[in-house]
Amino acid sequence: MKVVKFGGSSLASGNQIEKVFQIVISDPDRKVVVVSAPGKRFPEDQKVTDLLIECAERCLSNQNSQEIAASVIKRYSTIAEELQLPSKIISEIQADLEARLNGDRSNPERFIDRIKASGEDNHAKLVAAFFEEQGVEASYVNPGEAGLLVSAEPGNAQVLPESYERLHSLRERSGLLIFPGFFGFSKEGEVFTFSRSGSDITGSILANGLKADLYENFTDVDAVYSVNPYIVKRPKEIKELTYREMRELSYAGFTVLHDEALVPAFRAGIPVQIKNTNNPAAPGTRIVYERDNTNGPVIGIASDQGFCSIYVSKYLMNREIGFGRKLLSILEEFGLSYEHTPSGIDDISIILRENQFEAEMEQEITGRIVAELHADEVKFEHSLALIMVVGEGMRHNVGTMARASKALARASVNIEMINQGSSEVSMMFGVKEVDEKRAVQALYEEFFAAVTV
């Protein structure tokens, strides 16, 4: 039995949904279909989720939201017309959205979550209606009624462990089950969404709960590539990689799969297959627990911008008990999360995402660190890019770090910092943002020029 999830671009128009229908009915093992909200039809288009967020924010600021709401309904109406569906489904979607917009606004974050979730929820109803019109037994499934329980964290909900047992009973239902992604219900019956692009997470949760044999994630690319195709032309496709490798690559900029999506599937040992809605015959990329390391030390190279570092130096830091804890406690008080902490005996660098900072924070944090930890030097460095070189094979190959460093030196890229995880599945290089593309291209040439992945 397979759980299959389709992304927003795969469901953006009537034509795309017809492709989805053919894919689903071509394999009788596909039992549960997880649906995203309609995505972009063309580059300048807007995603329905973005329209819904704008609509909710206008409501909260007492601005006119009718035009945006009408745009949302128009998107569904256009799809329904393309699929020649009865007008009843659009009336149902319009009534649902209006009810949500007229609902309780006393908690703005929860209000936005209820509006955002309507994108997937209503699209699942539309997709189910189309499947039924084609003579296929299919039904929309409400996540709350199915038992998908999540924590009460707006925009960052986490699945509750008891959900898996509740969801298992879906196996007993007949026909295809059309399930909206991106959200669940708290124990109090409130709607809460996962982090953005969270429909991937829903698919993984359902695969775990239903004990599926495979979780298929359909998107708009043939496979996961070994490097960003916008940086390197025609990069090699990855046929197979491990959960850990995909997790590292997703974190560092690979947008094919949400970086939290693998956790439920990983815990249940369920393989994940990345496929292309527009080219379903392509084999895609398989994500597994273990694989044979036959491709060399590196499976992929990912990069992401928007980082900064806080460099802290203090003589004899290594002898001071609790220094690291105190330093991270200061950041915690400012509501900051960190990414990496490369360190030496007398210094430490804290890598953070720059978008967490407000203008006055830098000076306040510097003052706190100097005053409370008596640091000799505190220095912020902005506009950094992190490059992750990932591969299970690095544990069994000598000299991978040396090869990477030499490749960057040949490309005249200065390394601002280096950090290697204890698992030896990845190593991180910090470089200036202006050097990012050149650095990635140099690393790709070093590790993939003569390698078949």
Question: Does 6 appear as a known binding residue?
Answer: yes
Question: Does 5 appear as a known binding residue?
Answer: yes
Question: Does 334 appear as a known binding residue?
Answer: no
Question: Does 120 appear as a known binding residue?
Answer: yes
Question: Does 255 appear as a known binding residue?
Answer: no
Question: Does 49 appear as a known binding residue?
Answer: yes
- Backbone Cα Rg of the chain: 24
CA distance 184 to 178: 15
Question: Does 132 appear as a known binding residue?
Answer: no
Question: Does 202 appear as a known binding residue?
Answer: no
Question: Does 219 appear as a known binding residue?
Answer: yes
Binding site feature residues for ATP: 5-8, 219-220, 225
Binding site feature residues for substrate: 49, 120
Binding site feature residues: 5-8, 49, 120, 219-220, 225
